[in-house]
Structure 1
């Protein structure tokens, strides 16, 4: 069976996309960034704010690769202490606290509880793991070891962070709070991290922030780098199939797990990467949702892997695995991994039944980790570094490659990568992103009273209830969505299949760099993630997308077929490509 290509080209009656055309008309910049994951996007925003002429290209949709397959966590990485990655933990905790302030519309505090079943276990094996970075025989971490780790973790939050410090409680209080836990639990330790509810939209906010800096910042999705020609990068528009060249003083490779493959295409063989695969499932299981008591349950399974179970967007997210992976192959959540997830849920919540019909979404991705030889996957560094390499045969173009990186540290990483790029350009930083709010986090109201004030100020035409939904969905960028809906006047109506959305809102989303139907259902919304993409919704959204984008019947059929195959192949969501319901007819 052939692998679905989410960037499949469509040639029939496609207009030239304006963002691609803008790059073709002026095919040069000081910096070209290849790779529109969270780190490439963050660097794009940072350089744009400095006034640098910068172009970002992404071969798929923004944040559609490794950045779309995370655990949705913004966390300090308490387990990285055992790896000796103290610099990374300190930076991660500080960035966690910062994102709670800068992106409060999507990044929310998350109480995290570790169930503990022994007091002294792991005391002797932990130093050996620390020194050798070999997993060895799994050994459960006991209360004393976890206590020491959390004390160190708290010490990194002394930068004015606004999350509480950890606390330990015994069996009685633990079971009072989490009564479905294994009855032999001895203690629980609770600390705070954060979750990002809609990471793809947060990434899109960063893109919009960059473009708002001025016309010196340009970007196009579904444009891939396929080679080098002298001092220029050869690009291909995957929608039209056309190729063109772009010149830049500095080329920045932020293609994550595919960094070596990109460098190879550009003419330089590198062996930087060694990513591992992580999979997750999303469950519609009210009993498990309730058992989490509004927080994450985080523990080490018997095989030494870290496990997380937590409520997210009304569902329960369960993950993750840590398996060797080949970036040339698609990452899929296998049936063996699903069985593994069910076993680990039973390990900590033995009376709760989970089964396959409760899975509403599954996904998998390859972490952009460095090459690691025989180091156990769990001990591979989650830190990042920046490598300078030759750009093809050019003697003038400089090239930087990012190795590693994680969601939590994207702002600090982007600052570092931007600084290195500025140094190559002989320029100085003029704008700091340290305290710069992101997208819909600008002016976001964070108290019930402030929310009510904002809603009343912006909801006169839509009503308070609808305005509150849009504020929660888009942050203060909801003001632009509201204006678009209001401008639609009488033509706006709730969707028949998804009454929480409206026709004008979908039209607005189609204007957000949305090229394919998959972009709409997987990344501009969380409709697929929460299990709401049934056949009627798929049909209705398809018709609305076609109307907004001006697709022909042939293009619409191709979009439906490709979206249906992607949903089935990568996420086990089954919809028919053929239009099967009346909801598909939108006038």
Structure 2
């Protein structure tokens, strides 16, 4: 039975006008990017996702925007070139979330792997694992740098010997022979970058409509049957073009729509986040990237004051939930000891864990590490329709989402008989528009926007939301005015003084936040950086309920679902019931 808080204008907008030119199924980064691009062309477009935006494969990334130096070994030169170009572009277009990242490879041999590398290149079979030595890595990085010549805005790689390596990273294994440092980028808050793209699309006009927690459950003639996951109600939408960007679940979605496919063959990647200051300091501010003796690539990335470690590369079934296993955690700990042997790591330091399935194509007996990271677009008729066309995305990654979305949009435009009118090549994303990139420019911005909430607070919000912080500040000030100006304009939370009640209200009411878990995992980094404990959970859930107008029954349900989600997928233990939360609600 639905309640007042289940009634969503976004869903009503789609239900009341069920005809569109393009329907996109799947709100991961590639579906969202395509939604934005089509909206900018003036196309009538609808985006739906059965979960929250960027809550599937897109939420399980390594937080890297990179050219893929290892793809050179796969012979994927087109993908490397495009990835490097898009990395450079995102540093310019989304500077509020995408930052330069130095990456260091510790090297423990000189010639290792030089004989087996050609065989791997030709056969794409892993064979007997062989650590890559200095000569092979040097050749790879020279090739990688060559792709950055056109429009590159990161330095070339550096190669140093043992003495300098240990001087910079003294906790490295003492038998290190060289370190190679090259440059890519990191995305500090990928889910918020995805949300910026959603907001950009909606700002294009009423021809762009979207709703999260809406699932495609079947087809009926020329129509897609959708179900609102909150109310349980079903309705139909008819489009000229149906775009399937559901990532690892592409085949499952196509089967649901009545057109079974066997495009996908994803692999699982897992990560843990550690609160370990010694390990954080040992990285020297660079990501440490190396190959284990089983041939798998692992990273140790200092991020948001914590250390992100991953990833594995295992076969996975997209119909089953993906979780980080205890065996994988043991594997990570062994790898960290391999590089930083004197640093103690244990399970008590894990503050967050996550796992996801990469949307890779089917790969037969090709070793997981050699499965293509490139993408393709498959065109077909939609189900049994004679007129509706369908595009299915196979593959795709965070780094190339803009270029991929451009290709997908161009194919959809061709099917619609339309021409591109707007380029996204140099179009800033969300809060990256006008983002100040010098200390003087930052100071000027916070002075201009901090009159009502204070310059220190404006500076925090600018770092968190880019120039979208101006809208957050306006909301907070307006909310204070509406309430008669009583109390502080931007009251800090008791358990999380870096956030405020006005900011939480903004996130709940202005950013398509449907469930409590959306707030904790994707509108903020609270869970990711280990700030979620029982007290902060109780305070946040009470504020969320107040802002969203949840009944006590709805709040209890939200808390129970959130606690189970955090325990099962992220290793965070909380209590669903709390006297403090009950009293606050």
Determine if the TM-score, normalized by the shorter chain, exceeds 0.5.
yes
Give yes or no for contact 1:14–1:240 (8 Å, CA) kept in 2.
no
Deviations 1:73-116 (A, max 9, x none): 00000000000000000000000000000000000000000000
User: Quick one: which of 65, 72, 77 aligns to 1:81?
Assistant: 72
Query: Residues 342-421 of structure 1: matches in 2 within 5 Å?
Result: 342-421=333-412
Tell me the CA shift for residue 580 of structure 1: 3.9
Partner of 2:240: 249
Deviations 1:51-91 (A, max 9, x none): 00000001000000000000000000000000000000000
Give yes or no for contact 2:272–2:310 (8 Å, CA) kept in 1.
yes
Query: 1:527 and 2:526 equivalent?
Result: yes
Tell me the secondary structure at the aligned position of residue 183 of structure 1.
coil
Distance in 2 of aligned mates of 1:338 and 1:557:
32
Partner of 2:483: none
Query: 1:478 and 2:469 equivalent?
Result: yes
Query: Residues 50-129 of structure 1: matches in 2 within 5 Å?
Result: 50-129=41-120
Give the TM-score normalised by structure 1.
0.97
Distance in 2 of aligned mates of 1:488 and 1:586:
20
Tell me the CA shift for residue 463 of structure 1: 1.2
Partner of 1:502: 500
Tell me the secondary structure at the aligned position of residue 407 of structure 1.
coil
Distance in 2 of aligned mates of 1:390 and 1:496:
55
Give yes or no for contact 1:461–1:486 (8 Å, CA) kept in 2.
yes
Partner of 1:334: 325
Give yes or no for contact 1:107–1:195 (8 Å, CA) kept in 2.
yes
Partner of 2:16: 25
Give yes or no for contact 2:30–2:404 (8 Å, CA) kept in 1.
yes
Distance in 2 of aligned mates of 1:573 and 1:585:
23
Give yes or no for contact 1:540–1:584 (8 Å, CA) kept in 2.
no
Distance in 1 of aligned mates of 2:34 and 2:208:
12
Query: Residues 131-146 of structure 1: matches in 2 within 5 Å?
Result: 131-146=122-137
Partner of 1:425: 416
Distance in 2 of aligned mates of 1:584 and 1:45:
41
Give yes or no for contact 2:275–2:307 (8 Å, CA) kept in 1.
yes
User: Quick one: which of 222, 227, 230 aligns to 1:236?
Assistant: 227
Tell me the secondary structure at the aligned position of residue 339 of structure 1.
helix
Aligned length: 577
Partner of 1:543: 542
Tell me the secondary structure at the aligned position of residue 30 of structure 1.
strand
Give yes or no for contact 2:215–2:226 (8 Å, CA) kept in 1.
yes
Tell me the secondary structure at the aligned position of residue 196 of structure 2.
helix
Partner of 2:285: 294
Deviations 1:265-312 (A, max 9, x none): 111010000000000000000000000111100010011000100110
Deviations 1:402-445 (A, max 9, x none): 00000000000000000000000010000000000000000000
Give yes or no for contact 1:388–1:401 (8 Å, CA) kept in 2.
yes
Partner of 1:278: 269
Give yes or no for contact 2:379–2:390 (8 Å, CA) kept in 1.
yes
Give yes or no for contact 1:13–1:552 (8 Å, CA) kept in 2.
no
Distance in 2 of aligned mates of 1:520 and 1:297:
31
Tell me the secondary structure at the aligned position of residue 160 of structure 2.
strand
Give the TM-score normalised by structure 2.
0.98
Tell me the CA shift for residue 584 of structure 1: 6.2
Query: 1:314 and 2:305 equivalent?
Result: yes
Deviations 1:449-491 (A, max 9, x none): 1111111111111111111100000000000011111123335
Partner of 2:572: 573
Distance in 2 of aligned mates of 1:462 and 1:14:
30
Distance in 1 of aligned mates of 2:285 and 2:447:
29
Distance in 2 of aligned mates of 1:585 and 1:167:
58
Query: 1:438 and 2:429 equivalent?
Result: yes
User: Quick one: which of 437, 446, 450 aligns to 2:441?
Assistant: 450
Partner of 1:465: 456
Distance in 2 of aligned mates of 1:585 and 1:254:
43
Distance in 1 of aligned mates of 2:203 and 2:350:
39
Distance in 2 of aligned mates of 1:330 and 1:389:
29
Distance in 1 of aligned mates of 2:111 and 2:165:
19
Segments of structure 1 that go 5 or more residues without pairing to the other structure are 1-9
Tell me the CA shift for residue 11 of structure 1: 3.1
Q: CA RMSD in A?
A: 0.9
Partner of 1:562: 561
Distance in 2 of aligned mates of 1:176 and 1:14:
58
Query: Residues 163-202 of structure 1: matches in 2 within 5 Å?
Result: 163-202=154-193
Greater shift, 152-161 or 298-307, is seen at 152-161
Deviations 1:312-370 (A, max 9, x none): 01100000000000000000000000000000000000000100010000000000000
1:143–1:280 CA distance, 2 compared to 1 (3 A)? same
Segments of structure 2 that go 5 or more residues without pairing to the other structure are 481-485
